[in-house]
A and B are shown apart, each in its own frame.
Chain A
Amino acid sequence: MAIAENKTVGRRTPPPFLRGLITAAKTVGSVAITMLGLMFVTFLIGRVMPVDPVLAVVGERASKEIYQATYEAMGLDKPLLVQFAYYLWDVLHGDFGMSLLNARPVSEDIKRVFPATLELATLGTLIGVLLGVPLGVTAAVRRGTWIDQIARFVALIGYSMPIFWLGLIGLLIFYGILGWVGGPGRLGIFYEDLVPVRTGMILVDSAIDGNWSVFRNAFSHIILPASILGYYSMAYISRMTRSFMLEQLSAEYITTARVKGLPERTVIWRHAFGNIKVQLITVIALSYANLLEGAVLTETIFSWPGIGSYITTALLSADMAAVLGGTIVVGLIFVLINIFSDLLYKFFDPRAK
C-alpha cells in the first residue's frame, strides 16, 4: 500500500467516477489473475501426473503411428506454455475434455452433478444461519451464562469433529437405529425419474411439479446430510456472530440507547444487530463456500451424486480430466463467492471505501 500511495503523490487525484472505475478495473484485473493462476496450477497438476494421457486415449495396443498422431493431435509436442494456452482456450469455452470413465464431456457431467451439491450446500447454509445467528446473538447478550457455554461447546465440537465420521454416526443413529430419515442417495428407488428435470434440484423440481410425495421422499434423504453440513456452518456462524455482537454491545452508543430507556429488544436487534449485518453476510458467504468444499466428504458418506463424489470417484479411477474439471469449477465458485462477499462489504460498509 505504501508504494501505491507514494506513486500518486504529486499527481492530481482523479475525479470520483474515475476512481470508481479504477477500483472496478483493479478488482476485475486481480480476479482475472487469480483465475489464470488457478488454471495454471490445475494445468501443471495434470502435466506432472504419472498417467500417460495418450495411452489413456488410444489404449495399450495402439500402433506407434497412431500413438504419435494422437500425441501430436493432443498438442503434447508443443512447448508447455503453448499447451497451457490451448488448455486455457478450451476451459474458457467450457471444454474440460473427455471423461475416461464414461467417454462423455466432463462439462456435461459437471452440469448434471452440480445441482445436487448446490441443493445440499444451500439447505445446509440455511440450517446453519437459522440456528447459528440466534445462538450467537444470545451467547453474546448473555455472556458467561450457561447458554454462552453451550454455544462455545457446540462450536468447539464443530471445529474438532471429522465430518465424515459425524456423517457415519448420523447415518447409524437416525437411519439404522431410529429409521427417521431416508438412507444414502437422493431418492428412494421407487421415486426416481418421476418428476421432469428442470433445475436439477429435486426439492425444487418436485415442488414446481406439485409432486409432494417425491418432495417428501427427497426431503427425508437430504435432511440428514444437510443437517450435518449445517452443524459445521452453525459452529462457524455462531462464533463469528457472537464476537461481532460483543464488539457492538461494548460500544458507547449502546449505553446511550439503554440510558434513553429503549427496550432491550430494540437495543439488541435494531441497534447492535443492525450494525453487524454486513459483516455477517460476509461470514455467511464464506461458510457457504466452505460447505461446497465440505460436501466432498459428506457426499461420499451419503452416496450423494454431487460434484464432491464426482471428483473422488474420478480420482480413484485416475480420470484426470474429470478431477481437474471438477477442481476448476469448485475453485472458480470459491473465488467468485469470495469476491462477491468482498464487494458486498465495500458496498454496504462506508468505512471500507
Chain B
Amino acid sequence: MTDLPPHGQTWRDWLNTDTPTSRSHARAAAAWHGWLRLKSNHMAMLGLYILIGLVAVAAFAPWIAPHDPLAQNLMNRLQPPGSPGHLLGTDSLGRDILSRMIYGSRITLYIVSLVAMIAPIVGLLVGTIAGYAGGWTDAILMRITDIFLAFPRLVLALAFVAALGAGIENAVLAISITAWPPYARIARAETLTIRNSDFIAAIRLQGARPLRIITRHIWPLCISSLIIRVTLDMAGIILTAAGLGFLGLGAQPPSPEWGAMVAEGRRFILDSWWVATMPGLAIFTVSLAFNLLGDGMRDVLDPKEGGTR
C-alpha cells in the first residue's frame, strides 16, 4: 500500500512530493498541481463555480423551482419580473419563467453531456484508426472527415434534423454528427506523433496487437488534448443546441428548453421583453462559463498554446 500517505504525513504533503513512490502517486501529484494552477486562474474558477451551480440547479430542480414549469395560468399571463410569486415574470401562457429556466437546465445538461460523450469517442476511434493504420484506411477515413468538415455545422445539423424529425434525441444526433470531425483530426495528429516512437516499437516487439496498442497506449495519450477541445467546444454545442431549439427543431413544446423559450418570447419582444431575455441570459451565462473554464484548462494542460486565443 505505497499509495497511501504514511503516518505523520498529511495528504497535502503527500500530493506535493518531489519523489513519488508509485505511478499512481505521481499521477495524483500531477493532477494536484494542475488543480493548483487552475485554482489560481480566477476567471476559470468563476466558470467552474457557475457550472457547479448549474449541475446543482438541475439536480435539485423540483425542490428549487417555485412553480410547476408546465402549469398554465391564463389569468396571469405576461407578468413582468418582480410580480408577486414570479421573480422573473410569466410567459404568454402564464407559466413561471424562473421555474421553466430551472427545469430547462436539465435539458441543456442532457444535450451537452450526450454530445460531449458521443462526438469525442467517435472522433477518437476514427482518428486513431486512421493514424495508426495509415495507407488507404487513413486516406479514406480522412477524406470522409474532410467532407463533414466542409459542411457548415448548423446547416448540416438542420438538414439531419429535417431528415430525422425534430426532437431532443435527434438534435443530439445531428449535433454529434457535425461535431466529431475536429476530434478525429486531433486524435490522428496525436497518433501520428506517437506511432513511430520507441516505446510503441518496444510494445510491438513484445507481441502486442494493434487493438491493444491503440486502446492501451495511444488512447490514454490522446485524452488530454481531447478534453481541452471538448471543454472549449461545449459553448459551441450549447449555442448550436439552443439555435436548433430556437428554430423549433430541438426540444418540442411545452418542454422548457432555453432556445425554444427564446423563440416563444420572440413574438412579444417589443412589449414583454423579459420572456425572451431571461432564457437567453441563461444560455449566455452557461456558454460563457464553459469558455472561461476551457481557456483555463487549456492553460493548465497545454501550456504551449496558452494565451493565444
- Does A162 contact B283, Cβ atoms closer than 8 Å? yes
A30: chain B residues within 8 A (beta carbon): 143, 146
Interface residues on B, range: 35 or more
Which of A159, A161, A176, A335 touches B269 (beta carbons < 8 Å)? A176
State A112–B76 Cα separation when bound (angstroms): 45
Interface SS majority for chain A: helix
- Does B156 contact A160, Cβ atoms closer than 8 Å? no
- Does B159 contact A335, Cβ atoms closer than 8 Å? no
Contact flag A297-B158 (CB < 8 Å), given A160-B291, A162-B262: no
Most A CB contacts (10 A, CB to CB) among B259, B269, B292 go to B269
- Does A45 contact B247, Cβ atoms closer than 8 Å? no
How many residue pairs link A and B with beta carbons under 8 A? The number is 149
B284: chain A residues within 8 A (beta carbon): 160-162, 165
Does A280 belong to the interface (CB within 8 Å)? no
Does A324 belong to the interface (CB within 8 Å)? yes
Give residues 249-306 of B contacting A (CB, 8 Å). Answer: 249, 259, 262, 265-266, 269-270, 273, 276-277, 280, 283-284, 287-288, 290-292
Interface SS majority for chain B: helix
Which of B147, B247, B277, B280 touches A34 (beta carbons < 8 Å)? B147
Stretch at the interface among A85-93, A197-205, A314-322, A345-353: A314-322
Does A237 belong to the interface (CB within 8 Å)? no
State A312–B151 Cα separation when bound (angstroms): 16
Does A42 belong to the interface (CB within 8 Å)? yes
Most A CB contacts (10 A, CB to CB) among B134, B148, B156 go to B156
- Does B150 contact A34, Cβ atoms closer than 8 Å? yes
Please tell me the number of chain A residues within 8 Å of chain B, measured between CB atoms. 56
Interface readout for A21-38 with B: 1 if CB under 8 Å, 0 if not? 000000000100110011
A312: chain B residues within 8 A (beta carbon): 158, 247
Shortest distance between the CB of B190 and any CB in chain A (Å) = 16
Contact flag A297-B262 (CB < 8 Å), given A37-B143, A159-B235, A331-B150: no
- Does B270 contact A49, Cβ atoms closer than 8 Å? no
Stretch at the interface among A10-18, A268-276, A285-293: A285-293
A3: chain B residues within 8 A (beta carbon): 134-135
Most A CB contacts (10 A, CB to CB) among B152, B164, B288 go to B152
B292: chain A residues within 8 A (beta carbon): 156
Does A168 belong to the interface (CB within 8 Å)? yes
Contact flag A334-B150 (CB < 8 Å), given A176-B270, A293-B155, A323-B162: yes
- Does B147 contact A293, Cβ atoms closer than 8 Å? no
- Does A172 contact B235, Cβ atoms closer than 8 Å? no
Shortest distance between the CB of B273 and any CB in chain A (Å) = 5
- Does B143 contact A168, Cβ atoms closer than 8 Å? no
Identity of the chain A residue whose Cβ is nearest the Cβ of B156 in the assembled complex: A327
Q: Chain A interface (Cβ within 8 Å of chain B)?
A: 2-3, 30, 33-34, 37-38, 41-42, 45-46, 48-50, 155-157, 159-165, 168-169, 171-172, 176, 239, 243, 246, 289-290, 292-294, 296-297, 300-301, 311-312, 315-316, 318, 320, 323-324, 326-327, 330-331, 334-335, 338
Q: Can you add 19 more A-B contacts, CB < 8 Å, to A162-B287, A293-B153, A312-B158?
A: A3-B135, A30-B146, A159-B235, A160-B288, A162-B243, A163-B243, A164-B259, A165-B276, A165-B280, A165-B283, A168-B265, A169-B277, A176-B269, A239-B309, A243-B308, A246-B308, A293-B154, A315-B161, A315-B247
Query: Can you name 15 A-B pairs with beta carbons within 8 Å?
Result: A42-B159, A155-B309, A162-B239, A162-B283, A163-B239, A164-B262, A168-B266, A293-B152, A296-B158, A297-B243, A300-B247, A301-B266, A326-B155, A331-B152, A335-B150
